[in-house]
Amino acid sequence: MGATRVVDYTKEDYTEVLEDAADVVLDTIGDASSYKVARPHAKVVSVALLPDGNGLEYFRDGAPPLPFFGALKFAVAKKLVSGVSWFLTRGFRSKGVAYEYVVMQPDGKALEEVFNPLLANGILKPAISNVHKFTDQGVQDAFRESREGHATGKIIVCVKD
C-alpha cells in the first residue's frame, strides 16, 4: 500500500489534481470540498465536518432528560444543524456522493491493540515533523510550526527527557 500520486499542497490544489480519483474519502479536517476528489457515487466519511441533525442525538446520549423547553431547544438546534449540514454537503449530493459523519469515542486500549503490532512490525511509520523540548522556547517553536501550516508530520513536544 502506498501513494500512486503525491500532491505538494504548497504548489497544487489537491481537489484539482485528484478530481474524481477516490472511491472512499476519509475527511479528518472538515473540508467541505472533499467531495471533489470522490468519484461519482463514492462515499465520504467525515470525523470533522458536521453531523446531520440526527448525528446530534449522539451528543445527547448520557445527558439527563430534558424538560419540555430543553427538548424544544434541542429540536430547534437539530433542525438548524440539519440545514447547515445540508447546505455544506450540497456538492456531495450533486455528484451522488454519499456523506456520513462518524463520531468516535477515544479508546486507548483498542487503539493499542490495532496499532501496536503495525508499529512494531514497521508496517505503520508515523511521520514526525519535529520534536521540541518542553521549554518556553520549545513550546513557542512548536506553536509557530503548527500555525505556519507547513509541518510534514506530527509536531511533538517532549514533556519528559
| Residues 70-107: tens digit of each pLDDT | 666 767 777 777 777 777 777 778 888 888 877 767 78
Residue range 50-68: mean pLDDT, rounded: 56
7-11, 39-43, 67-71, 94-98: segment of lowest average pLDDT: 67-71
Residue range 47-57: mean pLDDT, rounded: 63
Please report the pLDDT score of residue 121 as a whole number: 93
The three cell numbers locating residue 8: 505538494
pLDDT over 90 (residue 128): yes
- Amino acid occupying residue 29: I
The three cell numbers locating residue 155: 509536531
Band (pLDDT 50/70/90 cuts) for residue 54 is low
Distance CA 90, CA 88 (A): 6
Please report the pLDDT score of residue 116 as a whole number: 92
Paired residues of 24 in beta bridges: 43
DSSP annotation of 10: T
Distance CA 135, CA 16 (A): 41
